[in-house]
A and B are shown apart, each in its own frame.
Chain A
Amino acid sequence: MGGRDTDLILLDENGIRCDGRKIDEPRKIMIKAGVLKNANGSAYIEFGDNKILAGVFGPRDVHPKHLANTDTGILRCRYHMSPFSVEERKRPAPSRREIEISKVIKEALKPAVMLEQFPRTVVDIFIEVLQADGGSRCAALAAASVALADAGIPMRDMVSACAAGKVADTIVLDVNNEEDQAGQADMPVGYMPNMEKITLIQLDGVLTPEEYKKCVETAVAGCKLVYEIQKKALTDKYFSNGENN
């Protein structure tokens, strides 16, 4: 059911996936906060083979002026993939997919950011995918959230993100590119770990109600792992080489 035909063994009899991971094991994740000098806040994430930079400006004056809201600040987000981020050169103009991801990331961050404190301003988020390897929207969202915190923009909670999916009739955590292409379902989830609220959920594929529930639970567990790494990134930047009392 579903998925593309492939010679790839997605899941062997010992429960090991095509890249050697267990079913509930995420890829290797590394986040660094404050990597760019000219942006107000920034973050760099390596999520498996994904390499993504996020930069945040603001709150600042809105241009064009008619977009400004006198009651609250606004959020703008641009997700962009570099021409060299995929195997065949990607044309640099924003594609349908990039416009969609920009929108969902913006909407996933909006509940967390306290824009009402900054009327008539805008917070701009720029996300640049340097290398893509499946699940880049989750990685981008996690990086954007760290960049926002680095910019000192008040937030109700961090937003963590991780995907889960169905591969070879099994629910697995953090679907990679091969599994995404050949698997049966992919579900990216954005999650606020302290408020225990989901801010992003998408589903590509077919799941039974039971599988759906399991998939959400798996993804949320993954988000909690990502949160610890986000926390470490900020702690490393702001509280290292000092005593922790």
Chain B
Amino acid sequence: MENTKRKYVIPGEVITSGPYRPEQNVILDGERIIATAVGISEIYDDTVRVISLTGKYIPKINDLVVAKVLSHSSLSWELDINSSYVGFLPASDVFGRDFSAHADELNSKLKKGDLVVARIANSDRSRDPLLTISDRELGKIESGELVKISPSKIPRLIGKRGTMIQTIEMATGAVITIGQNGWIVVSCENNDGLLKATKAIQMVEEQAHIANLTDRVKSMLESKGE
């Protein structure tokens, strides 16, 4: 992206003024475009946005998230999705359409503390985000290590077209499930790979703002290889 201009900004800072389109984390004040978060501003063509470096996860429809079961009622589960809101998983999503509140016991499928991979099915201002686990790659996580990082650093962990995550997976042999909410599940056959993958993820979290991070991670993984 040659015609992208980047800058470090804090809330209230004027990024630019003129006929630009405001996107995420910016507001328009007359002609001026103002950042609303601590992060990196990007001017790309006619759009301006700020990539936030901090803050909670904001649910978006179709995002893949790693969620933890908090509790259940007779009709639904409540899941912690590391956001301002709790995720809502209806029982009919798990048991199917013939779910009956008396016959089926929710505890038999998901218990408090269980981790699941879920997708945000719906999210708007008026209700808590609706989750679904009825898809092939979704559902309960049976094994693996949970790693928590800031949700704003997830794009960095994935890298351009998935380069970063591929690098880590190839070097360690681990299978990594990334939730957009900043929760990541790492599973690996051997303990060494697991530790290395976890370390690499934490390295991305700490050094997210540094250029050429993929190469740094690669050299870290290789140096510890022997």
Which residues on A are within 8 Å of B, measured CB to CB? 40-41, 58-61, 70, 112, 114, 118-121, 149-158, 192-195, 230-231, 234-235, 238-239, 241-245
Offer 7 A-B interface pairs, CB within 8 angstroms, sorted by A: A112-B11, A150-B54, A152-B54, A152-B152, A158-B11, A238-B209, A239-B8
Q: Are B54 and A151 in contact, with the CB atoms below 8 A?
A: yes
Top 4 A-B pairs ranked by shortest CB distance? A152-B55, A157-B12, A152-B54, A155-B11
Decide yes or no whether B125 CB sits under 8 A from chain A.
Answer: yes
Q: Given A238-B53, A238-B209, A241-B210, does the pair A149, B84 have CB atoms closer than 8 Å?
A: no
Q: Are B34 and A151 in contact, with the CB atoms below 8 A?
A: no
Q: Are A238 and B38 in contact, with the CB atoms below 8 A?
A: yes
Complex CA distance for A18 and B126, rounded to whole angstroms: 57
Q: Are A245 and B210 in contact, with the CB atoms below 8 A?
A: no
Q: Are B14 and A119 in contact, with the CB atoms below 8 A?
A: no
Interface string of B74-86 (1 = CB under 8 A from A): 0000000000111
Q: Are A158 and B37 in contact, with the CB atoms below 8 A?
A: no
Complex CA distance for A158 and B13, rounded to whole angstroms: 9
Q: Are A157 and B8 in contact, with the CB atoms below 8 A?
A: no
Nearest B residue to A71 via CB reads B125
Residues of A within 8 Å of B85, CB to CB, are 61, 120-121
Q: Given A157-B34, A194-B14, does the pair A59, B8 have CB atoms closer than 8 Å?
A: no
Residues of B within 8 Å of A158, CB to CB, are 10-12
Complex CA distance for A3 and B6, rounded to whole angstroms: 53
Complex CA distance for A119 and B27, rounded to whole angstroms: 19
Nearest A residue to B53 via CB reads A238
Of A61, A149, A192, the contact of B10 (CB 8 Å cutoff): A149
Q: Given A152-B54, A238-B54, does the pair A59, B84 have CB atoms closer than 8 Å?
A: yes
Expressed in whole angstroms, the minimum distance between the Cβ of B217 and any Cβ of chain A is 15
Q: Which residues 43-82 of B have a CB within 8 angstroms of A? A: 52-56
Inter-chain pairs besides A41-B54, A157-B11, 11 sampled, C-beta below 8 Å: A59-B84, A61-B84, A149-B37, A152-B56, A155-B11, A193-B12, A238-B38, A238-B54, A242-B210, A242-B211, A244-B8
Complex CA distance for A231 and B37, rounded to whole angstroms: 12
Of A59, A61, A194, A239, the contact of B12 (CB 8 Å cutoff): A194
Decide yes or no whether B177 CB sits under 8 A from chain A.
Answer: no
Decide yes or no whether B142 CB sits under 8 A from chain A.
Answer: no
Which residues on B are within 8 Å of A, measured CB to CB? 6-8, 10-14, 25, 27, 29, 34, 36-39, 52-56, 84-86, 125-126, 152, 207, 209-211
Of A41, A70, A121, A230, the contact of B126 (CB 8 Å cutoff): A70
Complex CA distance for A155 and B36, rounded to whole angstroms: 5
Residues of A within 8 Å of B8, CB to CB, are 235, 238-239, 244
Residues of A within 8 Å of B53, CB to CB, are 152, 238
Residues of A within 8 Å of B210, CB to CB, are 241-243
Q: Are B211 and A149 in contact, with the CB atoms below 8 A?
A: no
Residues of A within 8 Å of B6, CB to CB, are 245
Residues of A within 8 Å of B125, CB to CB, are 119
Of A60, A153, A239, the contact of B209 (CB 8 Å cutoff): A239
Expressed in whole angstroms, the minimum distance between the Cβ of A156 and any Cβ of chain B is 6
Complex CA distance for A241 and B56, rounded to whole angstroms: 24
Nearest A residue to B152 via CB reads A152
Q: Are A231 and B10 in contact, with the CB atoms below 8 A?
A: yes
Q: Are B84 and A60 in contact, with the CB atoms below 8 A?
A: yes
Nearest B residue to A72 via CB reads B125
Expressed in whole angstroms, the minimum distance between the Cβ of B141 and any Cβ of chain A is 25
Nearest A residue to B14 via CB reads A194
Residues of B within 8 Å of A239, CB to CB, are 8, 209
Residues of B within 8 Å of A230, CB to CB, are 10
Expressed in whole angstroms, the minimum distance between the Cβ of A212 and any Cβ of chain B is 27
